[in-house]
Amino acid sequence: MVVLAALSGLCFAPVTTCQLAVIDEVAHPEHKAEAFTWLGTLYGSGLALGAAIAGQLIAATGARAALATACGATALAWLLTTARSASLLPAKPSGNSTSEPARTPAVIADDS
């Protein structure tokens, strides 16, 4: 069981990094903070729901059912993500029709 826990921990960081990179690439600049907040909210909700379901499964049938359910949920998440990945497009810059960033005039300090 310790090996499985270590393996899941090793997988968590790369998965999280990929999720953050996808959000950074596809979310419009004005919605990035909201997108990252939703990811954090879903992490918390998933952890709470997963713990509740696993606890019930362990109490009713044992740890194997909880582990099998977790593996099944992970496989389902992978399938949904793979099916949806083709529709994810990088965010286009908003408000500026050119590819260059907006330029602001320089402010020169007056020392007088």
What is the Cα–Cα distance from 22 to 91, expressed in whole angstroms?
Answer: 10
Higher pLDDT, 55 or 99: 55
Residue 7: the pLDDT is 82
- Residue 108: which pLDDT band, with cuts at 50, 70 and 90? low
Q: Which of 86, 52, 90 is nearest to 70 (CA)?
A: 52
**How confident is the model at residue 1, as a pLDDT?**
74
- Most confident segment among 28-32, 86-90, 96-100: 28-32
Which of 32-36, 85-89, 101-105 has the weakest average pLDDT? 101-105
Q: Which of 51, 72, 54 is nearest to 63 (CA)?
A: 54
Query: Average pLDDT in the 23-40 region?
Result: 93
Q: Are 7 and 74 in contact (CB under 8 A)?
A: no
Rounded CA gap, 90 and 27, in Å?
A: 7
* pLDDT exceeds 80 at position 91: no
Give the C-alpha separation, 43 to 54, whole Å.
16
User: Does pTM surpass 0.85?
Assistant: no
Model confidence at 34: pLDDT above 80: yes
Distance of CA 46 to the CA centre of its chain: 12
Cα angle value 37/56/81 (rounded, 5°):
40
